[in-house]
Amino acid sequence: MKMKKKVFLVLRNNSLFVKMFLIMVISIVAVSLLITFSSIRMSSNLFMDTFSISNTKALEQIETQFEDYSFAVVGATNEVQNNGTIKRVLTQEKQNAIETSRAYHDMSRQIERIYPTVESYDANMIVLGNNERLYNVNYSNWPVSWEVLRNHSITEYTINRPNTLLYQYLPSTSFNDEPMIVATKALMERSTGEIYGVLYFPIREAQLKQFYEGYTSMENEVLLVDETGKIVSSNKEEMIGDGASDVLALAKEVDNEELEFKDVHVFGKDYLLMSQYLPTYNMYLVNLVDKNAVLDNLINTKEILLISLGIVLLALIVVFIISRRMTNSISRLVKQISTMAKHDFNMPVAETGGYEAKKIANAFNSMLSELQEYVDLVVQAQQKQRSAELMALQHQINPHFIYNTLASIKFMIQQDKKEKATDMIHALISLLQNALSNVDQTITVEQEITDLKNYVLINQSRYGEEIKVNFFISPDCLDCQLPKLILQPFIENAFFHAFNEKKEGFVQILVSQKGDNLLCEIADNGDGMEMKGDYTKEDFKEKRHLFSGIGIRNVHERIQMLYGEEYGVEITSEKGEGTKVRVGLPLQKMDTSLITNKITSI
């Protein structure tokens, strides 16, 4: 807890330095970060643009190799399609062994003449006839029988599309240990449209991979995706045969929109995707470049960040030293002013530090001296004015009150009510004596209640006893001190303003102790009024007071001037229900002997 207070004090005493330093720190760090990340981003974009151009050219070269192979297959297919010997062998009915052997020999010679067209690509060549004749150039490449091949799905797919050279993916099975891409074409009699056989060019995926293997790396992947979204070839063997419909959709999007590249997120990574459509194969050649891996090899981000951090730290040290020197003298001056305000308002501040601090300290000391003189004059004037105002208010006994009271006494004498007239004269004399005495004088609760009873007696003698007044005074409050005429305005207000609609009722005066406070309450069950907010703080209109000029607001302000803002008057009222006034005062007792007056009720 003490540590927190010390830190808070240090920050408060050096707030100017802290603010300046924080602004400089934020500015330097922000500028450094913006420059660093802008440089990295620009370098990355430039590299990616250059890299995409080079990879696009690489894709074009790979496409060329695929097309060369396709041209070779097309050339071999045309030769087979137009070869009469092969057609004759594949369409002949069953013959004896010698004729069959001779037919195989003739077809073998023709195929061996055609096969060199695709031999350089390590592709196999198989001819299948409807008459159960099959010729396999490289049986070890694909040891398949006539029955298996005739009933195979790729054969059925080819026969259903006799006019198209098809490339189909064949996964590894029991009779082909490696994945293959098989080019197939139905052999058809052009005049009749009759299919007499099927031509196959199986090439292992490993041989097909050689078309692009020289262009791949750990960060640069090449995929060959067929029309179903299946990966038929890739430099990553574990991906071959997997479905990649999302990659196919992105490749089509790049091709349709003629984009050079597209930023994508596939296989859980961020890639730069480039694509080339191979119409002969009806496949997409896709190039995926791992952006993060490439950029890590190109740009040493850690090194750049460390250099930027070093520059920032050096700048902060320089800014700290300069800012500290600039604000140190001002901070000392602020600390002196704060200490002076807490302990001794008359103590001048030391005129030390830099030129600016000395000038400020000198001006402050001059202002402080003049201010002190002015404050003394204002305090004296306010004290004199307050005493004069209160004295004037207290002596403003309304002449109508005295005139009407004397007229009532005269009328009582004429009616031979001498005792009642005598009581009324004594009450008026006592009331005037206390009202015209020293304004600064405080009296006991007992004396204030006596004056209130005299005031009530005069009013009830004049106006009748329809309004009852009850006093409930706690015995331990009788010797408590309070300013003169504090409660009288509220009794007067109740008599002449609380019962305009109602013609009779009661007023109750309660005085008690509550902790260290003296609590006085005046409550009536008269007409009441509609309240808006705190009545004691509103600038409400003073009602005309018949006895003195001391109104409700004057009482409230007088209490707060004497005892502080925590004391004063609170009023609550409700239309038709009455009004309650609470007067809060500090508990002050006078040193006297026992007071034996009892609680009385009128």
Residue-range domain boundaries for the chain: 50-297, 344-390, 395-586
395-586 and 50-297 share a CATH fold: no
Does 238 or 393 have the greater pLDDT score? 238
d(CA 174, CA 360): 98
Instruction: Taking residues 146-155, report their average pLDDT.
Output: 90
pLDDT in tens, 278-311: 998 999 999 888 877 766 655 566 776 777 788 8
d(CA 136, CA 319): 84
DSSP single-letter state for residue 476: G
Read off the pLDDT band of 436 (50, 70, 90).
Answer: low
Read off the pLDDT band of 52 (50, 70, 90).
Answer: low
Strand 568-574's sheet: what is its strand order?
A: 467-473, 505-514, 517-524, 578-586, 568-574
* pLDDT greater than 70 at residue 135: yes
For residues 562-595, b (16+ Cβ closer than 10 Å) or e, as one string? Answer: beeeebbbebebeeeebbbbbbbbbbeeeeeeee
What's this model's pTM, rounded to 2 decimal places? 0.47
* pLDDT greater than 60 at residue 400: no
* pLDDT greater than 50 at residue 598: no
Does 261 or 14 have the greater pLDDT score? 261
Element (H, E) at 341: helix 301-343
Percent of the chain scored above 70 by pLDDT?
77
Q: What are phi and psi of 92, to 5 degrees?
A: -70, 145
Please state, in angstroms and as integers, the Cα–Cα distance from residue 492 to each residue in 203, 387, 453, 542, following that order.
120, 24, 12, 13
50-297: in CATH 3.30.70.1060: no
On the CB side of 131, how many CA atoms lie within 13 Å of its CA? 14
Does 455 or 600 have the greater pLDDT score? 455
pLDDT of residue 546: 44
Instruction: Taking residues 100-106, report their average pLDDT.
Output: 83
- 571 - beta bridge partners? 581
Report the chain's mean pLDDT, rounded to a whole number. 79
pLDDT of residue 592: 45
Read off the pLDDT band of 547 (50, 70, 90).
Answer: very low
Question: Of 173, 80, 59, nearest to 126 (Cα)?
Answer: 80
Domain 395-586, CATH among 3.30.70.240, 3.40.50.2300, 3.30.429.10, 3.30.565.10: 3.30.565.10
Q: Among 348-352, 490-494, 571-575, which stretch is predicted with the lowest mean pLDDT?
A: 348-352
Instruction: Taking residues 465-477, report their average pLDDT.
Output: 90
